[in-house]
Amino acid sequence: MWVNLDAFGIALSLLTWLLLIFTDAVVVRFVLFAWFTTSRPRFRWVPLSDLGLFLLALYQLLLMLSLVSHVRAVTTDPGTMSLSSAPESLSNPRNCKLCQGRWKPPRAHHCKTCRCCIFRMDHHCPWINNCVGLSNQKLFILFLVYTCVSAIWTLLLLAAGAFCWLYSQKSWSDAPPPGSASLICCGLVAVECFAAVLFVSDFIQEQVESIQMNSTLVETYQRTHGPRTSFWEHFTSIFGPCWWTWPFPFPPALEPDYLEPALPDEAELWSQDCADDHNSLGIAGEESEEMAAKEETLSARPRQRHTDSKLD
């Protein structure tokens, strides 16, 4: 199992789980069990009407898929290099100085947080405490989609609860205000879900564009992309060829093509602006590798002098 021991990423991952659990508890307590309870339930241990039982099951399924997708995205190897050296047929291969000279394919990038090269690295996401690469991009996209759908469904359930409360009042002017606990908790969940929809939908759009252009977020800043064919082929290269496995949060069985070229978007080279984006994406550029090589050279000089003095 892949685990990235980054304190900030672990904290955000735990926060994600806590927000999902809090949202679930609030909706079940103050919406479903408040307005869909019946004296003749289908199951004694769930005192809900058939409609309430259906809404509960659907809601739990969405939240479970979101949570499991997040856990799998956190604990799945994003695409570390399985080969340490380039094929002999490849001329002028790149080597990563930060990975002790291991082979660095054209579409691989070194993550400063994971401290290794990731094939088809999109970016390092602290919310999953992991890189988004070829092996877990499907899980990351599923987490985004299920989280967005769950947030929209939560807002609809909150609106339904508010409508039920208004409908149950004989006179709105004389109606007692709802309890402070339910009002505060439902208000917090509404703000949380509304922010999640805005935040996550932007990421979903970026991932769709990434699939369409066959270019990761890192490659977008570097003005490069992989070979472009059709959206369908790009999609199956991430989700796998078996369509019935696409909605389920487990990694697809993909064979990485390390020889896949990184083609330039434009004739001119990308400028200094992209160097500033390396830190935000969590990748190590050529400057970082050169600095690492210089540090290794400087640290080796004192050892060399000590060895020479012994020989004298």
**Is 309 contained in some domain?**
no
CB 222 within 8 A of CB 121: no
Q: How far is CA 105 from the centre of its chain?
A: 23
pLDDT truncated to tens, each residue of the chain (312 aa)?
Answer: 899 999 999 999 999 999 999 999 999 999 999 888 888 888 888 899 999 999 999 999 999 999 999 999 999 999 999 888 998 888 889 999 999 889 999 999 999 999 999 999 999 999 999 999 999 999 999 999 999 999 999 999 999 988 887 777 776 666 566 678 888 999 999 999 999 999 999 999 999 999 999 999 999 999 999 999 999 999 999 999 999 999 999 999 899 999 999 999 874 444 444 545 555 566 666 555 556 555 545 554 444 444 344 434
Check residue 267 and give its pLDDT.
46
Calpha distance 235→212 (Å, rounded): 8
Residue range of the domain that includes 147? 7-83+93-295
- Residue 1, domain member (yes or no): no
Q: Give domain status of residue 306, yes or no.
A: no
Tell how far CA 163 is from the center of its chain: 35
Paired strand residues for 130: 125
List the catalytic residues: 125
Residue 123 placed within a domain: yes
In a domain, 312, yes or no: no
Residue 192, phi then psi, degrees to nearest 5: -60, -45
- C-alpha 151/C-alpha 190 separation (Å) is 9
Q: Are 124 and 135 in contact (CB under 8 A)?
A: no
271 lies in some domain: yes
Prediction pTM value: 0.86
Note whether residue 222 is domain-resident. Answer: yes
Give me the number of domains the chain comprises. 1
Residue 264 located in a structural domain: yes
